[in-house]
Amino acid sequence: MRAFIALELPESLTDELAACSRELAAYVTGRFVPRLNYHVTLAFLGEVDEAGAAAAVAALDDACQGLAPIELTPRGLGSFGHGRTATLWMGVAETPQISDLSRRVREQLSQRGLAFDEKPFRPHVTLARRVRFQRETLPTLPFPAPAKASRVCCSRAR
């Protein structure tokens, strides 16, 4: 299975991001992410077997010991990729707390010999994939209010 470790979003932030997505749908064509799949990826693992998934959960448990709630502050729209592979996302402020959590998760994965995508951490919530849009036509959206997140999970990529 393809897996990743992610910070789950509080319901208030999920609700506001879903509202942003609904408004963006009038200006953007693509495959919008269902609201239940919103998250901030801390580490993408790729293909793992059952033993690897169990080791990832153990790494997650160790990395999250003493975790205090982390404030997530939306910072604007952005995109990765070009053409048919573009991804539209809402950026999240890279605070010391969220950066430290990503670092701790990655350290614990490394200590267990688990491979993960080593691209620099760039906190964001994916809103849509395979998008087409003209940046200059996007509406000015009110950004969601900051919210505190406190749940981290190991999930299967869909």
What is the per-residue pLDDT for 133?
80
pLDDT of residue 158: 62
Contact 116, 59 (CB under 8 A): no
**Predicted pLDDT at 101:** 96
Known catalytic residues are 39, 124
pLDDT at position 126, please?
Answer: 95
Helices 96-111 + 50-63 axis angle, to 10? 140
- Please state the pTM of the whole predicted model: 0.92
Query: What is the set of domains in the chain, with CATH numbers?
Result: 2-156 (3.90.1140.10)
Non-local (6+) Cβ contacts of 66 within 8 A are none
Tens of pLDDT, residue by residue, the chain (158 residues)? 888 999 999 999 999 999 999 999 998 899 999 999 999 999 999 999 999 999 999 999 999 999 999 999 999 898 888 777 789 999 999 999 999 999 999 999 999 999 999 999 999 999 999 988 877 778 888 889 999 999 999 988 76
Any bridge partners for residue 8, and if so which? 39
